[in-house]
Each structure stands twice: as C-alpha cells, then as structure tokens.
Structure 1
Amino acid sequence: MTTHPGPDDPYRDADARYLEREAELHAPFLEQAAARLRDLALHGDHTLARVDRILDLGGGPGVASCLLARYFPNAEVVAGAPSTALRVRTGVRARREGLGHRVRTHRVDLPADLGALGSADLVWAGDVVHHLGDQQAALDSLARVLRPGGVIAVVERGLSPRFLPRDIGIGRPGLQARLDAAHEDWFAELRATLPGTRAAVEDWPAMLARAGLVPTGSHSFLIDLPSPLDAAPREHLHAELTQRRALLADRLDAQDRATLDALLDTDAGTGILWRPDAFYLAATTVHTARACTRR
C-alpha cells in the first residue's frame, strides 16, 4: 500500500485510482478468498448461523468491500479508510453495483479509531497490519472486535509480483530482484519510524493465537496473467514502476535508473506499455482465525 502524506488526506485521487486498479487486477484472488471465507464462516466447524456485520479495514477503494457484500448477502459492510478519496471511490462502486444500501464508509485511523466501529462477525484486514507500529497489539485489538465465533482474515505478504523476464535486453539482468531488495530496505526503515513500533517475528498464525484466537489456516492465492498482457494490467505496471522509480531512485545505481526510464517510456517498444514479454504473476496469502464461541 503506497501512501503520500498530506495535510488533510493521506491519499490523492491518483493514488486512490492506483489502488483501485490494483484491486481490480487482483479481483480473481479476492473472489476466491471471499468464497473461502464464506465456507469457513458459514459451512465449517463451529460455524456462525449468519454473518450480519463485516468490517473491511483494508483501507482500499471498495473492491473487497463490494465482493464481501455479494458473498454475504445478509451483511452490512463497513469499509474503514483514513482517506476521503478512497471512501468516495468505495461509495461510487457500491452504488454502481447496487450495494449502496449495505456498504457504507467510515473514516478510520488505525489503531486509534478501531473501538468506534463496533463489533463484527467477519473482519477483513487487507495489507493493513504491517503499517501499524505494534502489529501484535493491532491483532489483539482486532480480536476484541470479533463477535463469538467470528472470523478474521489477515492479508499479509505472499510473493512479490513478477512481470518481466530476468534478462529484458536492456540494462543488467535481475532488475526486479534488485527493486525488491531496495524496497525491503525502504520498508524496514519506514517501519522503524512508525509510532510505537515493535519488532515481531511475523508468524501470523502464532500472532493470531497470541491474540486469543483459534487459527484456522493460511492459504495463498495465485494471480497469473500470461503474456501478452491486456492494456489494464500494463497501465497498472506502468504506474507501479513510476512509483518505484520515485521511491527508490536513491537506492538504485545509474544503470538501473536508466533501465526504469526505458521501461517507463510510453512511446518506445522497450516500454512496459508495449513489450510483448510482459506478464503478471503474484501470490497473496490470507491467514484466518476464529474467535472462541464463548468468551
């Protein structure tokens, strides 16, 4: 999740559009995850009789919120986000899909505002916990929100997207591996500056258990779009590389910066918008746990 802090809103509309396009690209994974959550919540052992209330705390543009509303047709979905731009996009999408009466938005700055959202049968925490300084404390708070028998889905990590061959014919081979390494260093430094930050072994099932929940498994979902890519994923990759170029420029050498510039050239055949060898392959992992039926 890329953030651009501002005085009033942590996301500009362009950033919100980037996240929306990414979520749309990941829609097949979200569909599979929602179906799996429905089976876990309503058809497995210790099931809920029904799911009446869902909290989507991913801070996204409404793609996950609307999918969850469709898979749980009795539920009210509360989409929590700190950003006006994201909340607006969520509302527009919900109305467009005929879900405006069940999907509502709420301004949320985590973890401070979590208590104001009320309890839920299902919590979706999509790529949000790692942005909070004390990840264990965040999971502890999320556990307290769950109603007895309720289910939480924590989306964290997986495998970084791959979208080009190792050797792309320009620059040094292995560009994506170096981008990943530079991003990991940047993110480690970012986490060190978060309020109340605490180091933690990111064993998510163990952390959920320490929060008083019963882990119910981890599942990775594959997103596999082979070459040649359609326009929408190419546009997303162009936006992603643009952000990486701005974010990591001082961590890359001159040759890698030049390679990124060639990939971002909208007119050249070497650019990501036109390359015939561009693809999109990623895996996203969802960790689930259940609240005890008696608390």
Structure 2
Amino acid sequence: MTHDVSAAHGTHAHTHAHGGHGEAHQHGPGPDGLAEILDRDAELFASYLASVTARVAELAGDDVRHIVDLGAGSGTGTFALLKQFPDARVTAVDSSADMLEQLARAAAERDVTARVETVQADAGASLPGIDGADLVWASASLHHLDDPAAALAVIHGALRPGGHVAVAELDGMPRFLPDDVVPDRTGLEDRCRTALTALHAEQVPHLGADWGTLLAAAGLGVEYEHTEHLRLDASTPLPASAGLYAHRVLHRIRGAVEGRVDAADLAALDTLLDGGAQDVRHRDDLVVRSTRQLWIARRPADAGL
C-alpha cells in the first residue's frame, strides 16, 4: 500500500502520497527512497493535505473516534488525520513491516503513540480485527489492489453504519521539468509519462479508475467528488526539498522506463540525476505539477445494507 497522495512503487513509478498489493510498500523504505518520497510529497503539498482532511472532517462530523488508514506508509496521512480529529485514534494498515516500524517511530517522536495502532495486513483481502470504524482513509492505495470490488467490500464491512470512506488518488507521476530541460530532447517528460502509462496498464490497471462508480457499486453512497490540479513553481517559492523530491521520483522513473524509452532519453534523464550542473537538485526552473482526486462516500446508516 501507499500513502500519501503519492507513490512511486516497485516497477510502477508514478508518485504517490500519500498506500497497494502487489503493494507499493513491499520493498520497504530502503535504498529506493520511497519513505522519503512520501514525506517530501506531504511536505510540499501540506496545504492540500490539510484542506483535503478538513473536507473529510466536515463531512464525517464530530463523532469520529476510530480511523483506519489503509496503505499508511510512512504515516503522513495518519498524522494529518490525528490533527483534524483530536479525539480519534488511528489504525494504520500496511503490508510492509518496515513502513509500519517507521510510522511507529514517527508517532513516538510526535508523542501520539497512544493514539496510533499499526496492523500489518493485505487490505485487499481482509482487515483482521477491524470493524465499526468511523472513517477509512485510502490515499493512493486502492489502485494497487488486484480486485477493487473485493477491497471495497472489505472496507464496507470495516465501517460502522453511517461511517465514511475517503479515497484520494492521483493521475500518475507528478511533472517537474521544463519542456526544453535537456537540449535536443524536447518532450522528455511526456515520453517518460507515455512509457509509464503503458507500464501501468500492465501492472496497475486500476490507476485512473472511476472510484465514484466503484464506491457506489459497493453500496457506499458518494457524497463528494473533487479534482484539483496542483502547481508549485518559483513564485511559490519552491522549498529546497522540491529538488530532492524531483530527484527521488525521477530516479525511480528512470529505472521503470529503462527498455521502454530510447537510450538518448535515458542519457538525458541521467544528466538530471548525476549531481552535475543540470541535476534537478540544483535547478531553479522546476515546476511541480500533480493532479489529485478525492471521493468521500458513506456507508448507509441502515445496518442491514
């Protein structure tokens, strides 16, 4: 699973924040830097994460006491939700023990250990011991599941009648580069995105799914749907972490598209990652763009449904 609104996972290298199976976190935080990507994404888009969780809180109401974070990853969603729901506890679910250990350490650093429980599980199959939840949060995680309908049935069963589920997704890798970033390689990022789209069609076919339709089919009434196109550029201004974020994401993308783009494009990517003058960590012309979607749905109050 992956959190939070970003994920660059395994061989599928779109980036998300903010949770999946064949799961995003099966490799753990390790040298591929996924945990750092998740944390950088949450840092850069902190205002968006705050606004999204505030919207969830507005719809879910004041009676939220138990939240389940599916694909909790490094905990960016968990901690944002704890801020929005000061009387709630969070059960953080992920398939990666490494990610959950990192989340537990972060909870201790924030002095919220008493409000966080971690569960290692494949949420696509079951949520052991979890029922009666007031809110389920699934950020950039559900599209990894082999059977979204089965996963939503699991979520339905984990919610109390009247409880809510929030599904946050993104449209693939964020964009960072000016079109002419490498001489003679105009359109480099577009070609990488095309290659990743083909890869995702093979490995994560539910990326870009209509979750509103799927939620409704699972007996969950959709109450809110929103798409937002995020953009951060030099006028923001961009923090130094933007270059690090771009570097980590593009490094993962470079590995994913090898054999799917030509050698000249791979060489061009290398110039953006090799620590030289063109390295994205040193550039002042990055523009971070990402499209994020949110659906909030409710289990009917009638317990028989």
Relative to the length of structure 2, the TM-score reads 0.85
Say yes or no: does 1:276 pair with 2:284: yes
Residue of structure 2 in register with 1:290 after alignment: 298
Quick one: which amino acid aligns to residue 194 of structure 2?
A
Counterpart Cα distance in 2 of 1:255 and 1:82:
37
Contact (CA 8 Å) 1:59, 1:82: kept in 2 or not? no
* Identical positions, percent: 35
Counting matched residue pairs gives: 281
| Structure 1 stretches lacking a partner, 5+ long | 43-48, 193-198
Give the secondary-structure state (helix, strand or coil) at the position aligned to 2:166.
Answer: strand
CA shift, 1:27, in A, is 2.2
Match 2:220 to one of 210, 213, 228: 213
Spell out, residue by residue over 1:245-271, the C-alpha distance to the aligned partner (whole angstroms, 9 max, x if none).
111111011111111011112122x22
Equivalent in 11, 17, 40 of residue 28 of structure 2: 11
Matches within 5 A, 1:19-98: 19-42=38-61, 50-98=63-111
Shift of 1:126: 0.9
C-alpha displacement at 1:215, in angstroms?
A: 0.5
2: distance between equivalents of 1:136 and 1:171? 45
8 Å Cα contact 2:179-2:189 kept in structure 1: yes
Equivalent-residue separation in structure 2 for 1:223 and 1:203 (angstroms)? 20
Query: Which of 253, 267, 272 lines up with 2:262 in the alignment?
Result: 253
Match of 2:239 among 198, 221, 230: 230
Any gaps of 5 or more consecutive residues in structure 2? 1-6, 11-21
Measure, in 2, the Cα distance between the counterparts of 1:189 and 1:131. Answer: 12
After the TM superposition, which parts of structure 1 deviate over 4 Å for at least 4 consecutive aligned residues?
none
Q: Which has the higher helix share?
A: 1
Find out whether 1:128 has 2:145 as its counterpart. no
- CA distance in 2 between counterparts of 1:12 and 1:95 reads 18
SS in structure 2 of the partner of residue 101 of structure 1: helix
TM-score normalized by the length of structure 1: 0.87
Query: C-alpha separation between the residues in 1 aligned to 2:238 and 2:276?
Result: 17
CA contact (8 A) 1:124 1:152 kept: yes
Match of 2:192 in 1: 179
> What's the RMSD between the two structures over aligned residues?
2.3
Query: Structure 1 residues 82, 159: CA separation in 2 closer, same or farther (over 3 Å shift)?
Result: closer
**What is the DSSP-based 3-state SS (H/G/I as helix, E as strand, rest coil) of the residue aligned with 2:57?**
helix
- Cα drift, residue 9 of structure 1: 5.3
Distance change in 2, residues 1:239/1:171 (3 Å): farther
Q: Which amino acid in structure 1 is aligned with residue 288 of structure 2?
A: Y
Give how far 1:171 is off: 3.4
Q: Which moved more, 1:109-118 or 1:182-191?
A: 109-118
Residue in 1 that maps onto 2:252: 243
The structural deviation recorded for 1:272 is 0.7
Q: Could you say which residue in structure 2 is the equivalent of 1:2?
A: 8
Q: Is the 8 A contact 1:126 1:154 kept in 2?
A: yes
* CA shift in 2, pair 1:85/1:171, >3 Å: farther
